[in-house]
Amino acid sequence: MLTISELKEMFRRYDFRPLKKLGENYLIDSNIKDKIISYASLKEADTVLEIGPGLGALTIDIAETGASVIGVEKDKKAFSILRRMVAEKKLTNLRLVCGDILKFDIGSINTPRKIKVIGNLPYYITTPIIEFLIKSRARIEFALITVQREVANRLLASPGSKEYSALTCFVQYYTRGEYLYTVKRTSFYPEPEVDSSLVRLDMLARPSVAVKDEDMLFRIIRSSFNQRRKSIINSLSREGALNLPKGDLAALLDRIKIDPAQRPETISLADFAKIANSISARC
């Protein structure tokens, strides 16, 4: 990978400036690079989708493990520079795509095995990318992603913490998340404002809790966290939430042993599933 001085020289040579609007911060810490590749446990039979390879801090090393690599880069100038760099390596197992990851067809990757996803996700688009990957979970084994630390805290939060949110429930319904490593802001150039975390999200073969109606579950979760400081009964009985009379909702919560006075931020995903299943049973 490029050192900071080599990276600066690359910027000068190609008159290249990282685009702040795309959240471009390039990894310059070889120790972090080695950790990411180690955590991915890559084999020749693997296929890796790299999100935002940038100037190849990870790309070439990943390809040199023997795994097949598809790198999707949105920045046209960064893509052009990286293409020149990898051409010198003559890596036949590496394919670069210039485009938006959210428009990339994961189903077009021709492999019988589930793919592994690696990427340093820009802050401004982290949640949409995670949602995109989860929608394609049938084709993905895991995502090994670097995200801002506050986002990692939300993904891995427990009920009762200030970070626990609707996003937490969505991600933990479909994946098993694991914090792996703190990545200091000094590991990137240009240096971002905050530290990041390396997180692994394993796609579950089946959701972590059983529900009869997923749409109902997430409707309840969204309605609850829209009013996270209110009691669960007040959050869900307001107009436009579930359209259930408050008395009926109170009786339902009492029957499944959930305190109507609890705040949504203290309710586990399993208990949200109990609420959803109880409401679905009434229909």
Class of CATH domain 4-203: alpha beta
pLDDT by residue (tens digit) across 259-276? 999 999 999 999 999 999
* 131: confidence class by pLDDT, cuts 50, 70, 90: very high
The pTM for the full model equals: 0.95
* 205: confidence class by pLDDT, cuts 50, 70, 90: very high
CA–CA separation, 281 and 283 (whole Å): 6
pLDDT, mean over the chain: 95
Does position 282 have pLDDT exceeding 80, yes or no? no
Does position 33 have pLDDT exceeding 80, yes or no? yes
**214-282: CATH topology:** Helicase, Ruva Protein; domain 3 (1.10.8)
Cite the residue boundaries of each domain of the chain with CATH code 3.40.50.150: 4-203
pLDDT by residue (tens digit) across 210-253? 999 999 999 999 999 998 889 999 999 988 788 888 999 999 99
- pLDDT: which is higher, 149 or 242: 149
Contact yes or no for 246/233 (Cβ under 8 A): yes
Cite the residue boundaries of each domain of the chain with CATH code 1.10.8.100: 214-282
Contact yes or no for 71/82 (Cβ under 8 A): yes
Sign of CA dihedral 209, 215, 220, 223: positive
* 283: confidence class by pLDDT, cuts 50, 70, 90: low
Which residues make Cβ contacts (< 8 Å) with residue 181, sequence separation at least 6?
A: 32, 35, 39, 197, 198
Contact yes or no for 148/248 (Cβ under 8 A): no
Residue 231: per-residue pLDDT: 95
